[in-house]
């Protein structure tokens, strides 16, 4: 996969999704990118690291997770092809990433300089709209998951996953799904068995 193909892939995606009317505005931020390949379980960004990069998932699947003081992993999110992923808040505040991003399966990413994109956006209304759309998408996704985690029981959380991110059920190991939903493996197994009953 060449750099030009990577850049054009991102431009076409943003345009097709209605995120930007003139995709050429993004070209300065993606024209010099190099595709990055990660093996299963390989770390993209580790918690505590500083990164200004925003990654476009070309193929594969990423897992974002927090690590408790006791060393227990808590899954935050999963992102597949077509999504942008990064420690955005950390990049904006120039602080360390609070979570780790790792490949859950062989993954190819294209990196953008998010800090430069974020700093340049106010100079161009159309580019600013695109950045707002990008951040809004992430905010809405996080808010919806937060709502079901705080208000729903194990069955409601699983049904939410079935309705909103069904592809994860086929690609993500069950112990990761349980962590993502904030339930233990036994509770998840009981919910699945109950929903399978006629």
Report yes or no on 81 lying in a domain. Answer: yes
Range name among 29-43, 62-76, 144-158 with the lowest pLDDT average: 29-43
- Report the CATH number at residue 58: 2.60.120.10
* Total domains in the fold of the chain: 1
Higher pLDDT pick, 25 / 41: 41
**pTM for this predicted structure:** 0.86
CA separation for the pair 167, 161 (Å, rounded) = 9
The pLDDT of residue 2 is 45
Give the tens place of pLDDT for each residue, 136-177: 888 888 898 889 988 999 999 999 999 999 999 999 999 999
Q: Which domain holds residue 85?
A: 3-123
Selection from 11-25, 77-91, 112-126 with the highest mean pLDDT: 77-91
Report yes or no on 144 lying in a domain. Answer: no
**CA-CA-CA-CA dihedral for 81, 82, 86, 91, to nearest 10:** 160
Q: Which residues contact 48 (CB under 8 A, 6 or more apart)?
A: 96, 97
DSSP for 26-95 reads GHHHHTT--EEEE-TT-EEE-TT----EEEEEEEEEEEEEEE-TTS-EEEEEEE-TT-EES-HHHHHHT-
**For range 49-76, the mean pLDDT:** 92
Report yes or no on 158 lying in a domain. Answer: no
Report yes or no on 134 lying in a domain. Answer: no
Strand partners, 45: 101
Report yes or no on 185 lying in a domain. Answer: no
Give the tens place of pLDDT for each residue, 83-119: 889 998 888 888 999 999 999 999 999 888 888 888 8
Let me know: does 85 contact 54? Beta carbons within 8 Å: yes
Report yes or no on 157 lying in a domain. Answer: no
Distance of CA 142 to the CA centre of its chain: 10
Beta-strand pair 100-113/53-67:
antiparallel
Selection from 3-17, 18-32, 72-86, 115-129 with the highest mean pLDDT: 72-86
Report yes or no on 93 lying in a domain. Answer: yes
CA separation for the pair 101, 47 (Å, rounded) = 8
The pLDDT of residue 74 is 94
């Amino acid at each position: 996969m060449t750099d030009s193909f990577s850049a054009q892939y991102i431009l076409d995606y943003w345009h097709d999704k209605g995120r930007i009317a003139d995709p050429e505005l993004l070209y300065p931020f993606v024209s010099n990118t190099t595709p990055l390949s990660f093996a299963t379980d390989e770390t993209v960004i580790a918690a505590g690291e500083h990164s200004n990069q925003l990654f476009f998932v070309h193929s594969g699947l990423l897992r974002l997770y927090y690590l408790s003081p006791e060393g227990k992993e808590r899954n935050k999110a999963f992102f597949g092809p077509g999504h942008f992923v990064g420690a955005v808040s950390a990049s904006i505040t120039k602080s360390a990433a609070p979570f780790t991003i790792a490949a859950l399966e062989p993954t190819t990413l294209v990196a953008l300089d998010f800090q430069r994109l974020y700093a340049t956006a106010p100079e161009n209304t159309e580019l600013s709209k695109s950045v707002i759309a990008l951040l809004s998408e992430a905010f809405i996704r996080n808010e919806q998951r937060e709502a079901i985690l705080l208000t729903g029981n194990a069955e409601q959380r699983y049904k939410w996953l079935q309705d909103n991110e069904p592809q994860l059920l086929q690609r993500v190991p069950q112990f990761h799904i349980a962590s993502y939903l904030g339930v233990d493996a036994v509770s998840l197994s009981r919910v699945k068995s109950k929903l399978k009953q006629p």
